[in-house]
Structure 1
Amino acid sequence: MKTQQWLATIAIFLTMGVILLGAYTRLTDAGLGCPDWPGCYGFFKVPQQEHHVAAALQAFPERPLEPHKAWNEMIHRYFAGSLGLLIAAMFFIALFRRHNSKILPSVLLALVVFQAALGMWTVTLNLLPLVVMGHLLGGFSLLSLLAVYWLRLHPQHRVAQPQPLSLKPLALLAIAVLVVQIALGGWTAANYAALACIELPVCEAGWLARLNISEAFDLHLGHADYEYGVMSAEARQTVHVFHRLGAALTLVVLALFLWQLWRKATDSRLRKLAVAAATLLLTQFTLGVLNVALHLPLANAVAHNFVAANLLMLLVIIYMQLRSGRSREAV
Structure 2
Amino acid sequence: MSLFSFKHLIYLTFVLSLCVIALGAYTRLTEAGLGCPDWPGCYGFISVPQGSEQQLLAQQAFPDIPVEVSKAWNEMVHRYFAGSLGLLILVINIIAWRRPATPKRLPALLLVTVIFQALLGMWTVTLVLMPVVVMGHLLGGFTTASLLLLLALRIRQREIQPSLPKASLSRHSFSPPQSLQIMGLVALLVVAGQIALGGWTAANYAAVACTQLPICEVDWQQHFDVSAFEPIQPEHDSYQYGVLNYHQRVSIHVAHRIGAMVTTTVLVLLMWRLWRQSVPRRYGLGLGIALALQLCLGITNVVASLPLLVAVGHNLVGVILLLMLVATNYHLYCWRDVQRYTDKMAPEGRSHG
| TM band (smaller chain) | over 0.9
Map of 2:218 onto structure 1: 205
Partner of 1:92: 94
| 1:297 alignment counterpart | 307
- Let me know the Cα RMSD of the aligned residues: 1.5
Separation in structure 2 between the aligned mates of residue 315 and residue 15 of structure 1, nearest angstrom: 17
CA contact (8 A) 2:132 2:231 kept: no
4+ residue runs of structure 1 moved beyond 6 angstroms? none
Match of 2:261 among 248, 251, 257: 248
Tell me, yes or no, if the aligned pair for 1:37 and 1:124 is still in contact at 8 Å: yes
Map of 1:81 onto structure 2:
83
Mark the CA change 1:218 to 1:106 in structure 2 (over 3 Å): closer, same or farther: closer
- Deviations, residues 44-97 of structure 1 (Å, cap 9, x unaligned): 211112111011001111111101100100000000000000000000000111
For 1:67, the equivalent position in structure 2 comes to 69
Distance 1:232 1:303 in 2: 28
Residue matched to 1:164: 177
- Once the two structures are superposed, the pairs formed by residues 149-298 of structure 1 within 5 Å of their partners are 149-155=151-157, 160-264=173-277, 266-267=278-279, 270-298=280-308
Q: Which has the larger radius of gyration?
A: 2
Amino acid at match of 1:280: A
Unaligned runs of 5+ in 1: none
Q: State how 1:46-61 maps to structure 2 within 5 Å.
A: 46-61=48-63
CA distance in 2, matches of 1:162, 1:245: 34
Matches within 5 A, 1:115-134: 115-134=117-136
Q: TM-score, normalised by structure 1?
A: 0.95
Distance (Å, rounded) in 2 between the aligned partners of 1:190 and 1:143: 20
Gapped regions of structure 2 (runs ≥ 5): 162-171, 340-353
Deviation at 1:207, TM superposition (A): 2.1
- Secondary structure of 2:50's partner? coil
Partner deviation per Cα, 1:194-232 (whole Å, 9 max, x = no partner): 111111112113222221122343520422211111101
Mapped partners of 2:173, 2:283: distance in 1: 15
User: For residues 98 and 120 of structure 2, what CA distance do their matches in structure 1 show?
Assistant: 29
Aligned amino acid, residue 320 of structure 1: Y
Percent same amino acid at aligned positions? Answer: 49
Q: Given residue 103 of structure 1, which amino acid in structure 2 is its aligned partner?
A: R
Residue of structure 2 in register with 1:143 after alignment? 145
8 Å Cα contact 1:163/1:322 also seen in 2: yes
Deviation at 1:4, TM superposition (A): 1.6
Query: 1:20-67 CA distances to partner (integer Å, 9 max, x unpaired)?
Result: 000000000000000001111111211112111011001111111101
C-alpha distance in structure 1 between counterparts of 2:229 and 2:146, whole Å? 29
* Residue aligned with 1:154, SS: helix
Whole-Å Cα distance in 2 between the matches of residues 326 and 216 of structure 1?
Answer: 40
As a proportion of its length, which structure holds more helix?
Answer: 2
The one-character-per-residue Cα deviations of 1:122-143 (angstroms, maximum 9, x if unpaired) are 0000000000000001111111
1:323 aligns with 2:323: no
Task: Provide the residue aligned with 2:26 in structure 1.
Answer: 24
CA distance in 2, matches of 1:204, 1:22: 31
Structure 2: distance between partners of 1:136 and 1:205: 29
Paired amino acid for 1:207: W
Q: Distance in 2 between matches of 1:157 and 1:95?
A: 21
Q: AA paired with 2:319? A: A
Q: Is the 8 A contact 1:160 1:324 kept in 2?
A: no
